[in-house]
Amino acid sequence: MQLISRAIRQGEFEDKYGKRGNQFSPNGMPTYSIPFEIHNAPEGTQSFAVVLEDKDAITASGFVWIHWLIADLTRTSLEENESISATDFVQGANSWASVLGQFDLTEASYYGGMAPPNCRHRYELIVYALDCKLNLAQGFRFNDLHFAMQGHILTQASIMGTYDV
């Protein structure tokens, strides 16, 4: 399986997908989501799960920051900014929900763009081909996705890009 995204140019995510963009939630979370395409999914794929994560966030927040969670995606491409309008897949809560008192699960259950506070961070988009749908509820957490996928992952693919302060 292969994964590509027009959002990454020469190894970097374009400004519009993060804090230098121009679309934000009411509490300031960047919401202009990245496009991507999945190619050569294995036979038997019933759905895809998607995770966009920032392991470099550990240096600032103390944990891996989850920017986007998707379950039950049945198509092989997303256009940019579909996170706020698409209804044919389920989205989980991103780590913006961990900013206590500022973001609730409803606001954080969409794409939450890149906003590194301290240095250039690497962002990894991981797509899992699954042999079933997971039937998770909107606002699920990463651990819900992780455990629901166990025994159902046919393969996975990932791409990485950076975003600077």
pTM surpassing 0.85?
A: yes
| Confidence (pLDDT) at 76 | 98
Strands 153-163 and 121-130: antiparallel
Supply the DSSP string of 95-146, one letter for each residue: GGGGSTTT--HHHHSS---B--SSS-EEEEEEEEEESS---PPTT--HHHHH
For the chain, what are the domain ranges? 2-163
State the burial class of residue 25 (Cβ atoms within 10 Å of its Cβ: 0-12, 13-18, 19+). Answer: middle
SS3 151: coil
Question: Averaged in consecutive runs of 10 residues, what is the pLDDT profile of the chain (165 residues)?
Answer: 98 98 95 98 98 96 96 98 97 88 84 96 98 97 98 98 96
Give the position of tokens 């690497």.
Answer: 122
Longest dimension (CA), the chain: 44
| Confidence (pLDDT) at 100 | 60
CATH 3.40.50.300 correct for 2-163: no
